[in-house]
Structure formats: C-alpha cells, structure tokens
Structure 1
C-alpha cells in the first residue's frame, strides 16, 4: 500500500505488496506501525515511538517541532522493518467533528432511456453528486461512507456495480472537520517527506480493532483516554454516530501530581506509571515510595493511596463530563456498554472507577500483538486494520474526494474481500432469520431511539 522495498541501492517500489503504515500523531507520543497483511492476518514488522513535540490537546500547534518528532518515529520504524517508508495512513482526531448525511442521484441510462450496467464511473459520479452540498469555509471533508444505493427505486443495495438501471442514487454520511486541523496534520506529514495515502477519522478506525463485530453492530461507546484529550465515540450498525471530546487527558493527571507533590513533570510521570492507581481504594496507604521534591535534599515518602486520590480526582472529573454528554444522547443504554483504550487505560483501576461512575458494563482493550501489548498502540493499529477490512465499494466512493477514479481498481485490490450483499425481490438487504431474531426482543426498546437520533 505504500512502500519502497528495503533500502538497497536501486531497489524499485513494490506495488500491491500488502504492507501498510499507520501514523498516529498523539499529544504525548507519535507512533508509527508497519504491518504486512497476509492471509487475513496482520503481521507487525516494524514499530516507531517518539515523544510528541509541537502538539497541544491533540492538535498541532508547532509544525516544525511536530515534523521533527514524526521523522524520528518514522526512522525507528524503518530501521526495524528494514524498508523505506513513503506512504502512510493518517488518523484525524475527532475535535469538532461533524457527521452530516448526504445524498445524490444521477441518470445512467442512454439517450433513449434504456438501462445500462452500473460501473465504477457511475458510483464515482453519484458520489460527486452527493458531495455537492456547500460546506462552511472553515471546514473540510475527511471521509465519506455510503449507507445504501438505490437503483430505479430499489433500495438497501450495498454495491450496485454489475446491476442494470436508468437511475442511481446514493445515501451516505460525510465526516467533516476543521480545515486548520486537517491542513496542519497533512502539512506536517508532507514536510516529513511522506505521502498521505489516506486520511481516516480516528475513532472510526480505532473501533475496527477495539470493538468486536457484535459491539459495532448493536452499539457500543468507545473511550480513547489519550494524553492530551479524551474522546468518546458512539458506534452503532458499524457506523460512527456521535463523538464528544473532552480537552483533558493523561498530561493533566501528570500535572496534578506535579503540583500536589511539588515535583517536576518528569518525576510526576514516572510516579504515575510506576505507582499510580486510578481508583484510590485499590492502593494501600502502607505502600510508600520516594518522591523527589523541589527545594528538599532528601526524598519524601508518599503513600500509594494518596497518589491514587490525586489521579482519581482528575479521572472522575473527566468521566463525569463524558457521562453527562453520553446521557444526553441516551448512549449509555447501548447493549455493548463501554470499551476503554488509550494510554491512560493502562493505569490499574481504570475499569473499576469507570464502572462506579458510568454504571454500565466496562471492558478494557489492549492490543495482543507481540511487542504492542499496551493500549497506547491501539489507534495506530486501528488505522491499518480499517484499511484491510474496508470494502471495495467504499474505496470507489472515497475516490470521489481525491478526484482520481482511475486508480480505484488498484486501490480496491489492496483491500480485503469486497463485502457484497445480496438483494432480495423488494430491494432490501438480505438478512438471516437468526440475526433478525437476535436484534429483537431484549433490544426492542432501543428501536425508537435508533430511528430518531442515530438515523
């Protein structure tokens, strides 16, 4: 998807090699993961991780410093993977993200009104028609996803190519974000000597690796506890329906520890990682550890319980704000409960504290790939995972943003198994009896909510 082969002189670029590079530009760290997708499995072949610079609360505020940090992370990944990275998949944060429905219609028949077979060009054209809506000057499109296609009035079609008709419609969703965030992110990547192969909405990509198929289908809240901010995302019917960003994260916990214990930020971070508990009642007042205090020659003994109280206070504040936002959209009633990931999720007691505050089922997601078993790597892995499971029709639709439909076939080959669905006689998506039954009954009470708010 993106590479030149190893750095031997004269090596030629490899096409359709199945190698992907995910670039996660976070507030506290920048992570680069190189993975090879072979036989429906991701094999991690290189990892780079560098402390972030030039970012604040998930947003780039100093391009030059951010570029330097990106270059260092990429160099680490290149050395370990023994390749020269040229193309990367970049995640765009959910700050001020807007989810807007879109629809378009085109005529595909000939001058005499005869039907014709629908192809990639037709899908491209109908997507262009759906994107004609005028955006505010300060916003730009990050991604566009199709919900359904309608051929001559027959709806519920997931992939119309190969069908015949005279009229083609598409209904989908457009994800837009602040032009400043998108521009600065792409500018940094390009200045680092890289080509942006694709941009993805970060929470949507993360959901493909952190949530199971059932959780993404029936509805789940995904919390990404990052260093600079915390993002709550509601995923239902395999779509991102709602996001909320709280501009507080792990760096705020570190700062609280620094202020209360009168120690440097560097020492506060070490203390948090080595002795911290998210729920103070899980720590012991008898477990003491030394802390270097500014203005004192000797270290001061601090109890684990006291440190836990500092951490718990900040996390409680974050979780409470998230809960208030999620309650307003009734998201806490979703069957999947809440799945938590991100660097702060590594703190012991996060699950217990979240259960006390949200009062729903809580699960912590930690990647299981060798060498990446830490929740801070989840986002970078999600960027790659999303690309490997993306359907061919989604690739065709996304090509309308770049304006290059000629490369659709090549891009489609880089995705895995186009997800085509059957259409029954009334044009609705075929659905097994078992799946219909599983969605009824216990979840019938959620039906009105989904029909009104999410849809």
Structure 2
C-alpha cells in the first residue's frame, strides 16, 4: 500500500522543529531534503507563544525549500500525547442506496454516527480510526464498499485531546502560511514507522525520549492502547548538568552532546574535558564519568517512573519488548541503562535514510510514512471528522484513558534477587547527586 506524491512532515518539538520533504513512489520513501531550526515558543511539547513558534516554523520550512527547490504548502504535523484519551466508538446505519450496495456515502454516514457523542467543552476529537465494519452481522470487514447489505456498522477508536493544544498547533501552522493536511498523534505515527509488523501485532512498548518530555506508548494488535507522558526530557538533563557544574545552559548542552554517556559504567574517569564555569575566568576540568553520573541520575528517574506506570497496566508482559527513539537516545549507553531499569529487552530505532540517520528525525519521518500509507477507507472516515459531523455538549463526564485489556496485560515483577543486588551499588553511588539535583528541581 502507499500513495504516490510529495509529502512534508512537520515535527514541532520543544527543542527543535524539523521539516522533511519526501517523495513516495510505489510504497518507497525517497527523502528529497530537510530543514531543522531551534524551537521557540514551546514548553513540554505544547505551544505557549504562537508568534515565536510561527517564526521558528517558517525558518525550518525555508531551509527545506532551499534544499529541495520546492515550495512547501501542505504539511502533516504531529501533536504530543499530553492528556490524550483513547476510547472505543461505534455507529450503525441503514444502507441508503436502493440497490443496497454500500458506497462512500454510506461509509461517511456510519462514521458520522460513530462520532455523535457528548464531549466536554475543553476537549476535541483529534482522529477516528476504523477497526472493522459489520455488514448484516458479518464482521471483520476492512472495506465494505461494493458489498450488498441492509445494515452497516463500524467499530473504531477515537482519540481526543485538549482543544487548546490542538487549536494552538493549528494556529501556528496556518499563520506560518501552511495548509494543514493531517494532524496526527505522535505515538500513533511513530509506531507505524519504528515497529515491525509483528511488534505492532503482538504488542510492544515504544518510548520516545524528546527534549521537552518523554512518552511511552503501548502498541498492541496494531492499535494504540495506552500512553504515558513524563514532563521531563533532555532539557532536564541539561539543566542538571548546568546546576551541578555551575555552567550556562548552552555550555551544558554542548558538554552533554560532546562528552555525555547515559551509562556511567561505559564512561572513563581518566578522560577529562574543560567546562566554562560561571564566575571563573579559566575553564574547570571535569571527567567523563562524573558527567555520566549526572546524566544517569536523571535518566534513571525518568525510566523508573515509566517502569512503574507500564507495570501497572502489565505492558511489560508483551513479547515485543521495548523500542526507544528520540533525540535523547543518541547518548551512548542508553540501551544498557534502560535494560537495567526495565529488566526487559530494549532496542534502539534509528532511521536509515541518508542524511537523517539520527533518532531525532524519527518523528518527522513517521508523519510522512503515516500519511502516505493511509488507505482510501481511512481517508473517507477521516473526511467525516473534517466535515464537523461530531457534536460537542457540555453535560459529559470525561472518560479515562483506555487501559490494555486486563487479561492480556497482567502486571509483572520479574526482577530477580541477583539483579536487585547488582543494582544496589549503582543506586548508592547516585544518591548524593540525586539529592543535590532535587534541591533545585524536585
């Protein structure tokens, strides 16, 4: 499957904005060019200053246009999973055509019936994903068009998000002079790119470590089942380095990128590097191991909170293990550290497109991949949402995020005594650093 044409992915992140232009031909993605600009006006993945965000988006778009010699108009953008709610939906209609042959109009009507629901005023439906169609009691149908039937049903999944988050993102894109083709939930598109078909089917935890926040998503049976967002990301690691080493934020970021390790066991105590310290004329010498301990302390805290959340829903019982991506995963040793904390198989996803072989480009690429591979039936169902068929009433009690099925997702605690003993010395070693950092941020 795959549509043919030029697609543009716009990843509006907390620390950087990336624009990737690619051509899709017979299911193959050919990247033409990309642009990247330091992000402004965003905090923890959410737009907080529209004017600054618009300026940064325009800069990134102009970079991509110069490299590709293509005028960019339509884009597919991603939206973070902050306060995401996932809930099932279903609709049923009588087939309208006299011949009883199901057509596009019937599909739109049954999707519209599934969208009729009460929503609190602060929330908005982001997308509707059809799971199956049922024609006169026969289920498991992916595309009912052309079939003969009297009654048509659709079962699917609704993703809703805060109206403010959606509106501000749309406003930024429109004011940047762009047309929003699709607005996609980030974990949804990322799962389609980073996970193999079997991993999406049997179940896998996908972790995206970004600059502004860290997101864990459970993909099972090719569906997004659960998300967890930690409002700590790469920026928190940089702030920790800045405070502990008494250096500027920019200097701390450079030190992290050039000398940082996620796992202190891989860093050397004999390798030193200079750090510019506030209030001192001469740089101070710091060794790699000390820097790694600062980084590891924050990453361990992020992973431990994720681990607790994922174990509550039994997601770590899934056979697909854990797949990580995002800019922070470029730190050496992060797979080993995550394996120690989660006590589970962990692997890293890095795009293999020329010039984009860095995990920070995964999200923008996934947006292109997601849009280019939407089927006709997906496009018809989503066009119903764009036609404003959904109702919005205030007398509604918000539902919680849909948790994975309890029988398929049973909590597990497989940590052995040997593993616990091995982890104790490392915990003691970081206790002092954690306590110091907590005085500033916790």
Q: Same fold (TM over 0.5)?
A: yes
- Mind listing any 5+ residue stretches in structure 2 that lack a counterpart? 390-403, 412-442
Quick check: 2:4–2:26 contact (8 Å CA) kept in 1?
no
**Distance (Å, rounded) in 1 between the aligned partners of 2:368 and 2:160:** 21
8 Å CA contact 2:317–2:410 kept in 1: the answer is no
The partner residue of 1:33 within 15, 20, 38 is 20
2:203–2:220 Cα contact (<8 Å) kept: yes
| Aligned with 1:334 (options 307, 314, 318) | 318
Which whole-Å CA distance do the structure 2 matches of 1:40 and 1:390 have between them? 11
Deviations 1:30-63 (A, max 9, x none): 0000000012211111101000000001110000
Moved more, 88-97 or 101-110: 101-110
SS in 2 for 1:245: strand
TM-score computed with the length of structure 2 as normaliser: 0.87
Determine helix, strand or coil for the equivalent of 1:203.
helix
Query: 1:108 touches 1:115 (CA, 8 Å); kept in 2?
Result: no
Aligned residue number for residue 375 of structure 1: 359
2:165 to 160, 181, 187: 181
> TM-score if structure 1 supplies the norm length?
0.85
SS of the aligned residue for 1:351 comes to: helix
Deviations 1:256-300 (A, max 9, x none): 000000000111000000000001111011110110111111111
Distance 1:238 1:189 in 2: 29
Which residue of the other structure, out of 40, 43, 46, is the alignment partner of 1:56?
43
Instruction: Please give the alpha-carbon distance, in whole angstroms, between the structure 1 residues aligned to 2:118 and 2:200.
Output: 31
1:377-428 CA-to-partner distances (Å, cap 9, x unmatched) read: 00000000011222221111111111299xxxxxxxxxxxxxxxxxxxxxxx
Which runs of structure 1 show a deviation greater than 6 angstroms over 4 or more consecutive aligned residues? Answer: none
SS of the residue 1:85 aligns to: coil
Deviation for aligned residue 1:451: 8.7
Give the secondary structure class of the aligned counterpart of 1:96.
coil
- Superposition map of 1:190-269 within 5 A: 190-269=174-253
Counterpart selection for 1:290 from 247, 267, 274: 274
RMSD after superposition? 1.7
Say whether residues 1:75 and 2:40 are aligned partners: no
Check conservation: 2:313, 2:410, Cα contact below 8 A. no
Which whole-Å CA distance do the structure 2 matches of 1:39 and 1:329 have between them?
39
2:182–2:371 contact (8 Å) kept in structure 1: no
> Secondary structure at 2:215's aligned position in 1?
strand
- Once the two structures are superposed, residues 65-96 of structure 1 have per-residue CA deviations (whole angstroms, 9 ceiling, x without a partner) of 00000000000001111110010001111000
**Residues 385-394 or 83-92, more deviating:** 385-394
Count, aligned residues: 395
**What is the match of residue 280 of structure 1?**
264
Cα distance in 1, alignment partners of residues 48 and 203 from structure 2: 35
- Partners of 1:447 and 1:184 in 2: how far apart? 34
Structure 2 CA distance for aligned equivalents of residues 273 and 368 of structure 1: 21
Report if the CA contact (8 A) 1:115-1:165 is conserved: no
